Structure 1
Amino acid sequence: MTQDTGSDGSKLAAIVLAGGRSRRMGSDKAALDWEGEPMLARVVRVVAQRCDPVLVVAGETSAAFRGIDDIRDRAAPGIDRSKVHWVTDEQEGTGPLGGLVAGLAKAAAAGADLAFVCATDMPLIAPELIDELRRGLTGSTQAVIARDAQRDHPMAGIYRTDAGPVIADLVAGGERRMLGAIDALNAHRVGVSDADWLVNVNAPEDVHRLRVSTS
C-alpha cells in the first residue's frame, strides 16, 4: 500500500541517484539484470510503493540516461510511470552530493516535505526500509539515515527537502562526501532490522557473491 503521505500530512518523494559512472563494474549498473529486470527499474518499482514522485537523478551524459529506452523496455510490470521523473540538471563533477541537491530541489518543487534517498545499485532494497526510517523522524530531525553494524549509510535515508540549501552550500564550498551532508545536518541514525536492504554492488564479484547468497 502506498504511503507517500504520512500521518502528519507530510509528503514523501524518492530520489534515486543513478548518475555514477560504474567504473568498477565495467558496465552500467542501472541496466544490470537482476531477477529479470534492470536494477534501476527494480529500485524504482520498490520505492514507488511508498513514495510519489520518484525522481531518478542522472545527467544527460550518464550511462543510465543514455540507456533509458532499453531500461524501460526491459522493466518488469508494476511501475506506475506517471510517478517517475528524470532529473538531469545536477551540477557536473559534484558526485552524489550534487545529485542529492538537484533531487531535493525537484522534490520540494513537487510539494514533498521529505525525500527517501537511495542509490541505483541496491538490489535487495525493500519498502519496509522506508517505513523504518520514517518512524525515526522527529520534528527537529533534518535527516534519518540507515546504519548497520559497520557504518552509516547516507545513501539510504530520508531527508527533509528544506535541508537542500544547506547541502547546496556545502557543494559550492567543494564538499563531495555524502557524509559531509550528515555532519552538517541534525541527523538521526536508525539501526534497520535487515542489513541486506543496504547491500550495494560495485563490481562484478559483488553481483556474483550476492546472487549466490540469495539463491
Structure 2
Amino acid sequence: MTEQRQHGLAGIILAGGRSRRMGQDKASLEWEGRPMLDVIAESIGQRCSPVLVAAPASSQAFAELGPDSELTWVTDEQVGTGPLGGIVAALSAAKDAGAAAAFVCATDLPLVSADLIDELLRALTGSPDVVIAHEGGRDHPLAGIYRVRALPALEELVAQGELLMTNALDAVVTHRVGVSDPRWLTNVDAPEDLHRLRELA
C-alpha cells in the first residue's frame, strides 16, 4: 500500500505498561514473525510521521527493544503516571516535532489499521480536542487522535496525580466515533488472547 501520511499527524505507541496478565512485555511479543511493536508502528506509519514510542527508560519494552530500534523513543514520562503520563510526554514531543495532533494507540493492538486513523480523522473537525474510537458500548481512549492543544489540560491532570483516562477525556472536548471494523480494536491482555487471535488470523 502506498504510504499516505497526513500532514501534521504524528503517531504515538504507548509501550510502558507492565503486562502483568501477559507475563512478558507485550511490545516484544512475536506477531507475524516480528515484535508486535514493529507491526503496529508499520501500520500507523502509513498515516503518521514521526512515530513515537512512549515508555520509561526503566521499562522492559525499552530495555528489550529500544537500543536496537529505529523508532523514536520518548522515555521522559513520569514513572507511575500510567497511560496518561505517556500520552503527555509523547504529545509534547510530537508538538516539538511540528505535529498538530497525534494518533495514540496501545502496544497490544496488533490489528490496528491505517483505515482506523482515516475514520477518526474524518471526525476531527471543529471543536474536538480528542476523537476516540467507541465500540460495543465502550470508549477506547488508547485508540484515538489527540490534538496538541489538549496538552495544557492533560499536563495539569498528570501534575495533580490523575491516572484515569476517563477523567482525562472529561477534561477536554472529546468526540466518540463508532468504527466500521471492531477488529482494529482487538487487544491482547493475556496469553490466551494472543493464541485465539493467531488462530483467527
Normalised to the residue count of structure 2, the TM-score between the two structures is 0.95
Q: What does 1:145-184 correspond to in 2, within 5 Å?
A: 145-184=132-171
DSSP 3-state at the match of 1:170: helix
1:78 corresponds to which residue?
A: none
Normalised to the residue count of structure 1, the TM-score between the two structures is 0.89
1:2 corresponds to which residue?
A: 4
Aligned-residue CA RMSD in angstroms? 1.3
Gap regions ≥5 residues in structure 1: 6-10, 73-80
1:36 corresponds to which residue?
A: 33
| Distance apart, 1:2 and its partner CA | 2.0
Residues 122/174 of structure 1: CA separation in 2 closer, same or farther (3 Å cut): same
- Please give the alpha-carbon distance, in whole angstroms, between the structure 1 residues aligned to 2:36 and 2:164: 24
Aligned partner letter, 2:98: G
- Please give the alpha-carbon distance, in whole angstroms, between the structure 1 residues aligned to 2:5 and 2:60: 31
DSSP 3-state at the match of 2:27: helix
1:60 corresponds to which residue?
A: 57
| Distance apart, 1:107 and its partner CA | 0.6
- Please give the alpha-carbon distance, in whole angstroms, between the structure 2 residues aligned to 1:188 and 1:68: 34
| Distance apart, 1:212 and its partner CA | 1.7
| Distance apart, 1:115 and its partner CA | 0.4
Identity rate, percent: 58
- Please give the alpha-carbon distance, in whole angstroms, between the structure 2 residues aligned to 1:204 and 1:169: 36
Q: 1:92 aligns with which of 79, 89, 94?
A: 79
Q: What does 1:1-215 correspond to in 2, within 5 Å?
A: 1-5=3-7, 11-68=8-65, 72=69, 81=70, 84-214=71-201
- 1:25-79 per-residue CA deviation (whole Å, 9 max, x = no partner) reads 001110000111110000111111100011100111101100016874xxxxxxx
Aligned partner letter, 2:152: P
- Conservation of the 8 A alpha-carbon contact between 2:66 and 2:73: no
- Conservation of the 8 A alpha-carbon contact between 2:5 and 2:45: no
